[in-house]
Structure 1
Amino acid sequence: MTKPQSISVTAPINQELPMEKFHELERFIDGMETTKGGLIAILHKAQSIFGYLPRDVQLFVARKLGIPGAEVYGVVSFYSYFTTKPGGKHTISVCMGTACFVRGADRIIERLKEKLNVESNEITEDGLFTLKDVRCIGACGLAPVVMVDDKVFGRVKEDELDDIIKKYKS
């Protein structure tokens, strides 16, 4: 898995996925000095391009790297960061790690479910938010932590949730 395979990207298997995105991913992979040990980085890039990792994208990566599709799926399904379903425009992640849980993360996520009228790992009806409960964000000193996209909100209180949501509704 040191040199990317040369494959044709003339038509994606799934016609709903834009060709430009496959080309962008291919350029990224081709631009790597080596792909050995690079599967996770490639999947991160693929998810940032497509927004999620559908089967066709996973198979494309497998073919480019010359590895079994099952190996790619194994990595995608193991790491909670990766998703195989499209999400909302913004992802709200609530850390449910020990420090956050002890400091009220369970109440935070329940309140968000009420406010957004959605369950964990689902998309709001308007497609604006995906609500996720995650194991650990790695900011235990700021517990409880809520992350919207890449922005971390620390020491979150229930009465601050409306303001956080409002920032992303516009």
Structure 2
Amino acid sequence: MPELPAADYPADVRERLDRDAREIITRYPGSRSALLPLLHLVQSEEGHVTRTGVRFCAETLGLTTAEVTAVATFYTMYRRRPSGDYQVGVCTNTLCAVMGGDAIFDDLKEHLGLGNGETTADGKVTLEHIECNAACDYAPVVMVNWEFFDNQTPESARALVDDLLAGREVRPTRGAPLCTYRETSRILAGFPDERAGAVEATGGAGQASLAGLRLHRGETPARVVGQRGNPPQNEAGLYDTPGTPSPADHPSSHDAPERTAESGPDHPADPVADHATEEGR
């Protein structure tokens, strides 16, 4: 059975989207380069990328609907079906998982009665597991509409979703104030976030990441790992961060690398010298 054509937007919505689309397209040397922000734009209208939105992007940029659909289905930030006002994503990549991300995700599934990608009956919260969002120094991380909630536990994550469901104010650990997924999509389309406090908000790297930068610059002495049988030289408190112990209490943290010969004196790491010795025999 042939597929029915997608309906068009109401005239006032189409006029507004046309105006916004023209503004977006002028930022790029070629119009088709504007496809990603245009997909965010149509997503901000209905909360997900509909067939109407796909057709709008195709007509506006002179593409086929197949070309637009190929992009919309490739990137996970574009939703293809209705979802919640708040996308609650739990990172389950390696570091977040071992730090408790898997436990948080399982706990939220039970607490909300949802599976991965499912939405609460009131349409407020969609739960999903997400890939790494480059916040490993704050693991385990939960994101809501791509804003960071760091160093989470099952208890704090449950409280977070309960606040979202109850309509209480929720503030990310860092970054801009939280807004709905539609509002987030419009911001990602490239339009200014004019909400109070949004411009001043910043994220920033965690102290664990900055410790490596300080070591590289020589601003902080490297911690030397002890030889076999000898305790490591700990500098208690030097690398403390909220929620993580000092190396004195957690010796595997921030270990400086050793030369192989020093870590295994019975197995020298210089094959050239060893070869020369063999030839001289």
Give the alignment partner of residue 162 of structure 1, picking from 144, 149, 158: 158
Paired position in structure 1 for 2:84: 88
- Equivalent in the alignment of 2:129: 133
Please report how far the alpha carbon of residue 80 of structure 1 lies from its aligned counterpart in structure 2 after TM superposition: 0.8
State the match for 1:79 in structure 2.
Answer: 75
* Distance change in 2, residues 1:18/1:136 (3 Å): farther
Point out the structure with the larger strand share. 1
Q: What letter matches 2:151 in structure 1?
A: R
Aligned length: 158
Preserved CA contact (<8 Å) 1:58 1:72: yes
1:14 equivalent to 2:27? Answer no
Alpha-carbon separation, structure 2, partners of 1:161 and 1:167: 10
What is the SS of the residue equivalent to 2:111? helix
Name the structure 2 match of 1:8: none
Aligned AA (1:106): D
Cα distance between partner residues in 1 of 2:13 and 2:108 = 33
Aligned-pair identity in percent equals 32
Alpha-carbon separation, structure 1, partners of 2:12 and 2:113 = 35
- Cα 1:22–1:96 change in 2 (3 A) is farther
The normalised TM-score by structure 2 is 0.52
Query: What residue number does 1:44 align with?
Result: 40
Match of 1:26 in 2: 18
Contact 1:21 1:50 in 2 (8 A): no
C-alpha displacement at 1:19, in angstroms? Answer: 4.8
Structure 2, unaligned runs of 5 or more: 168-281
Letter paired with 2:120: T
SS of the equivalent of 1:94 reads strand
* Superposition deviation, residue 20 in structure 1: 4.1
Q: Which amino acid aligns with 1:56?
A: T
Unaligned runs of 5+ in 1: 1-11
Kept in 1, the 8 Å contact 2:6–2:51? The answer is no
Counterpart in the other structure of 2:141: 145
Q: CA RMSD in A?
A: 2.0
Seen in structure 2, the aligned counterparts of structure 1 residues 18 and 104 have a Cα distance that, compared at 3 Å, is farther
Larger Rg: 2
More relative contact order in 1 or in 2 (CA 8 Å, sep 6+)? 1
TM-score in terms of structure 1 length: 0.83
Whether the aligned pair in 1 keeps the contact of 2:88 and 2:144 (CA below 8 Å) is yes
Shift of 1:166: 2.8
